Structure 1
Amino acid sequence: MVQYRRNLIPGGTFFFTVALADRRSTLLIDHIAGLRSAFQKARLDKPFRVDAMVVLPDHLHVIMTLPEADADFPGRWKAIKAAFSRSVAAAIPTLRPNRRGGYRIWQSRYWEHTVRDDADFERCANYIHFNPVKHGLVSAPRAWPYSSIHRYIREGILPTDWGGDGGHNCIGFGEPRE
C-alpha cells in the first residue's frame, strides 16, 4: 500500500474538502450549530484562520491558514471531526458508537491542497463560493446561507452579484465532477 504523505508546512494555507461517510446525509446543515461549535473549540486549542468556507449537506470546503510555527492541520481536523461527532451523537440518541467507541459520521480521510500563491488562493476561494450552485442547491452563490461569500461581499472583496448567472468558470477539483 502506498504511504500517503501530507504537505505539512508551518504557517501554510491549505484548501480542504472534508466529507461525511454517508454522502446522502444532510447532517452538516442539520447540525450547523454543532459544526460551528466544533470549529470554535478546535480554534481555542490550536488556533487557525478560516479564509473561506462553505458547508453543504454532506461535505465542506475550507481554506485554512495555520500560525507561523505550526503545521498540524491533521490534529485540527481530528479535533473538529471528533467534536462534531460527539455533538451529533448527543442530539441523536439512536446513533450508536462502533467497536472503538467512535461514530462513523465522517469519511476517514480528507482531501487537501497546499495553496501556492494569490492566484491559487483566488481559484480555491471561487470554487468554494460557487460550490452550492455547482451542486444545484441554489442559483446564485449568495443565496446559500452557509458560505463565507457573505463576508467577502460585506468586506467588498466580491460584488453582490458574483457568480449569480450560474456561468462562472469554476475549476473542478476536490471532489468528482457531476
Structure 2
Amino acid sequence: MPPDDADFSTRWRLIKSGFSRALPRTERLSDVRKAAGERGIWQRHYWEHPFRVEGRYQQHLDCVHVSLLKHGLGSRLPDWSHSTFHDYVCRGIYPADGCEDASGVVAGEA
C-alpha cells in the first residue's frame, strides 16, 4: 500500500468484489447472505489486525509454518512443497532445515 494510504477496508472490499464477480455462482448461500447480496466464499466481515508489537509478525509466520506439522500434513517442513517456508529460506529468514514457533516447537523436525 502507498505510505499515505491506510484504508485497508476499502482495499479488501475491492479485491474481494473483483474476485467474486469473476467466479460463477455455484456455492450454496444462506437466506441471510442472499438477502445481503453476499457470496459464500468469504468471511462475512473484515477485521484489521495490524502488528503493533515488534516481533509479532514473525510469531505469526512461525505459527503458520509450524502448524503444517502440528496438524499432520507432513513430517518435515522442508518437504512440504506448497509452503511459503521455502520463500523465507531463500530470503534468509529461516534456515533450510526448519523454523521454530514461539513455544519452541521446531518445524523442520518430526
Quickly name the TM-score band, shorter chain normalised: 0.5 to 0.7
Higher helix share: 2
Residue 95 of structure 1 and its aligned partner are, at CA, apart by 4.2
Residue 86 of structure 1 and its aligned partner are, at CA, apart by 2.7
For the Cα contact (< 8 Å) 1:152–1:158, is it kept in 2? yes
Total equivalences in the alignment: 97
Residue 87 (structure 1) aligns with: 22
Q: Percent identity?
A: 38
Pick one of 39, 62, 65 that aligns with 1:129.
Answer: 65
Residue 118 (structure 1) aligns with: 54
For the Cα contact (< 8 Å) 1:132–1:144, is it kept in 2? no
Question: Whole-Å Cα distance in 2 between the matches of residues 110 and 131 of structure 1?
Answer: 23
CA spacing shift, 1:84–1:100, aligned 2, 3 Å: same
Runs (5+) with no aligned partner, structure 1: 1-47, 49-66, 167-178
Question: Whole-Å Cα distance in 2 between the matches of residues 140 and 120 of structure 1?
Answer: 24
More RCO (CA 8 Å, sep 6+): 1
Question: Whole-Å Cα distance in 1 between the matches of residues 49 and 26 of structure 2?
Answer: 36
> 1:26-41 residue pairs with structure 2 within 5 A?
none
Higher strand share: 1
Q: Which structure is larger by alpha-carbon Rg, 1 or 2?
A: 2
CA spacing shift, 1:70–1:102, aligned 2, 3 Å: same
1:165 aligns to 2:109 (yes or no): yes
Runs (5+) with no aligned partner, structure 2: 99-106
Q: Superposition RMSD on alpha carbons, in Å?
A: 2.7
> 1:9-48 residue pairs with structure 2 within 5 A?
48=1
Residue 69 (structure 1) aligns with: 4
